[in-house]
Structure 1
């Protein structure tokens, strides 16, 4: 039983009318997802009408075209298993239309029957449209083995050789991609095939990168770059090529690829972000900061336009490549994280006034009711909020904005006041013969964090008061910081961590606590020295060096105080020891507000003291010789 010419004409016009309506909408680029849904519903309804009749060869071209269009929309609105079921049903109908049998639930086996039954017939161009849909489904599921098997079957049908490699199969792929002007399609088969080709190269290249086979991945991306493709896909290829060059230790080649990506599509934010990372690797802080500035502006501009952006195409890159898989290779941070990175890098580059302004913008975003989402990705984590506040306070200190320091630190102190314990005992626990810190429970780790944050806030306030020449308030702030820090008691300090992870992180926190305590004692010693309380200053400088050994300025202040107390032999001994040693490196990943401090506020002009000690040492040597 075949379709009458009247029904054939009506259903053909129905198909064309739906496609025209959608294409007009696509041409205007107006956001209207409801129209997409409406077109999908109408195509499903038309497909059911056609499939309500027995399958026949005379109607196969119309039925496959309608199914192809419905499946294209289905990729946006349905789960992949629903789309696969619809495709399977269409393939079974195609077999029935030519009198073949192929009721099989396995797509690979079913395709084997379809290509064997219809290969070499007039229906090949229409069946290949459905094959493109199958390719799309498997590619979006990262089912590259299924794609390889499918393409091998095509080559076997076309009597061409097969190398058993996915990219080799693609290179030899021949599609007729013929179109019938009387039956319109939402996406031309040639356009879909070109997109699938480049996305398959990308997907295979990403798979090779995950296997750390960067040389082979580079070849795949370079081959993909010469294929016809949309601008967004080509920009993506250039970015991934740059990533491969970076992994292979060729940063300049990587930068050239990122530049190409931006020339093709300036909205390729991944390329801008990766450029900033390469500039950091090369030590070019100016170029890194400029790249981050551009990235931040571009991401904010995109966020403002998101509400008016047109919906993505029926077959998008994210759908084919999988946004999660691509993000694992190359992510773009959130606007908030970009702003934090920008501020952080400005501090490290001594662009203090810019860093202060960026941190103020960041704090304003965090306090805003409509603040952007804070990234929680493991690869691109956003710092804890108190840490951001302390970094901001440190940036203000570097920019000589003392009153801002005091205000920001007051926020941290107020928020942690009820969370700081009266006493926190940290003791080792034995596990399989290893000594580790007993900080496995989150509450203990959180309490230690609160002690660190509160102590650091008072510490920064102390230096802000020193900037204001108010040694009395500075002395008070440093004392409060010490009172917070000594609430933590480490029962055994000579402990080691044999496994990475959480225990190592806790070890780092305890080391940070000791460094912060040492710097705070040094700050208070400076206050005592300025106030003429030399014995108290001597005590604090000695305790500072015990907690955090190796600080050159602290050592020189100790020499200065000993000299002033007329303990010249001791001063000379410490001076000789200091002169013969270099600053010791603290083997701990310090937070920014301690790491970049470098004892600037405690700097002492050594020239006069050095001259006195040289003369004193020479005179002692002469007396000894005589």
Structure 2
């Protein structure tokens, strides 16, 4: 009996998962992976968009765009075009000929992204498209964070609303294991998104990115509100550090130290990041009039990363505060020779 050939969706899913697993190995070649994902995206998008195939297509597009973003964070216009194009294919797949005319403005090369996203999320409700759509939108918001912050914030608010609406549905769901033909719709390591290593992330860290928008706009009060919401993932390392940094700027040093201690308890904290956390904790202690504790923290920071010269400079400032001018000069001389 002739062996049955796998369907297009099965083959694309298997190929995506193979590339994802390859990405997760430490010795992968980024350029080769990008080329492989580009080939796969080109093959998938050679066919008209349909809802079943989009459940595979959107994760693959996200994987490609994520690789491109991590290799070149500014991404350029091509990255934004690819992300918007993927969202537009959902619209095309869901609309009949006459209905398309009513949303024609959303299918042009430069659509209103926030309006497009709202349409797409509405169409995706009740399907497996919601998660990859939110991931694509979040990556687009991240791409626009530096240049078009208002648009980035609007996108994140839309994703956050979608996340709130679907959280009850996803609660208690088990994570995809990645075995067989189960799609793995993102390349982001689970630890980056603040989830357990064995689980599949259901939502990107929207609260954290929104907090970044508010902080960059100088709205520290709303930034802190976003970081302190119950929905925010307090174990997400960058969120805890941002909270500590903002509280330090607000001269709320004790609260800042508590937030930074959450960073130190994170299992994904690398030595360079730990050095910066300890340095900021030292700054808090220095502002509280605790120079001896501050010096100890700055020294621990240098033990983690001796290239963090600001910690060495901070030590010299504390020696000055203690009236140890000779030791201060020795520290500054060491800093000059580095």
Above 0.5 in TM-score?
Answer: yes
Distance 1:287 1:51, change over 3 A: same
* Secondary structure of the corresponding residue to residue 49 of structure 2: coil
Q: Note the 1:61-140 alignment, pairs <5 A.
A: 61-78=55-72, 79-100=75-96, 101=100, 102=104, 103-104=107-108, 105-106=110-111, 107-116=113-122, 118-120=123-125, 124-140=127-143
For 2:210 and 2:93, locate their aligned partners in 1 and report how far apart those are by CA, in whole Å. 35
Cα deviation, 1:232-258, whole Å, max 9, x if unaligned, reads 224314413532551xxx433333333
Q: CA deviation at 1:194?
A: 4.3
Give the equivalent residue in structure 1 for 2:20.
Answer: 19
Question: Where do 5+ consecutive residues of structure 1 fail to align?
Answer: 155-165, 304-333, 366-626
Q: Report how far residue 230 of structure 1 moved.
A: 5.3
Q: Give yes or no for contact 1:236–1:268 (8 Å, CA) kept in 2.
A: no
- 8 Å Cα contact 1:64-1:130 kept in structure 2: yes
Equivalent residue for 1:283? 289
Deviations 1:132-154 (A, max 9, x none): 21222214433554355446767
In the TM superposition, 1:448-467 aligns within 5 A as none
TM-score by length of 1: 0.42
Of 39, 43, 48, which residue of structure 2 is paired with 1:49?
A: 43
Residue 264 (structure 2) aligns with:
262
Say which SS state the counterpart of residue 255 (structure 2) adopts.
Answer: helix
Q: 1:310-329, aligned counterparts within 5 Å?
A: none
> Which of residues 189, 192, 202 in structure 1 aligns to 2:211?
202
Structure 2 length as normaliser, TM-score?
0.71
Alignment CA distance shift 1:81-1:131 (3 Å): farther
Cα distance between partner residues in 1 of 2:84 and 2:18: 26
Tell me the residue number matched to 1:546. Answer: none
- 8 A Cα contact 1:68 1:133, kept in partner: yes
**How many angstroms does 1:52 deviate by?**
1.7
Aligned to 1:60: 54
Q: Is 1:228 the counterpart of 2:233 in the alignment?
A: yes
Residue 47 of structure 1 deviates from its aligned partner by 0.9
Tell me the CA shift for residue 357 of structure 1. 3.7
Query: Secondary structure at the residue paired with 2:139?
Result: helix
Deviations 1:54-87 (A, max 9, x none): 3334533232232232222232235142222112
Residue 338, structure 1, aligned to residue 311, structure 2 = yes
Task: Please say if residues 91 and 114 of structure 1, whose CA atoms lie closer than 8 Å, have aligned partners that are also in contact.
Answer: yes
- Measure how far apart 1:260 and its partner are: 3.8
Q: Structure 1 residues 194, 273: CA separation in 2 closer, same or farther (over 3 Å shift)?
A: farther
Larger RCO: 1 or 2 (CA < 8 Å, sep 6+): 2
The answer as to whether partners of 1:80 and 1:137 remain within 8 angstroms in 2 is no
CA offset digits 1:18-48 (Å, max 9, x no partner): 122223x0xxxx3x4x622222210110110
- Matched positions, count: 299
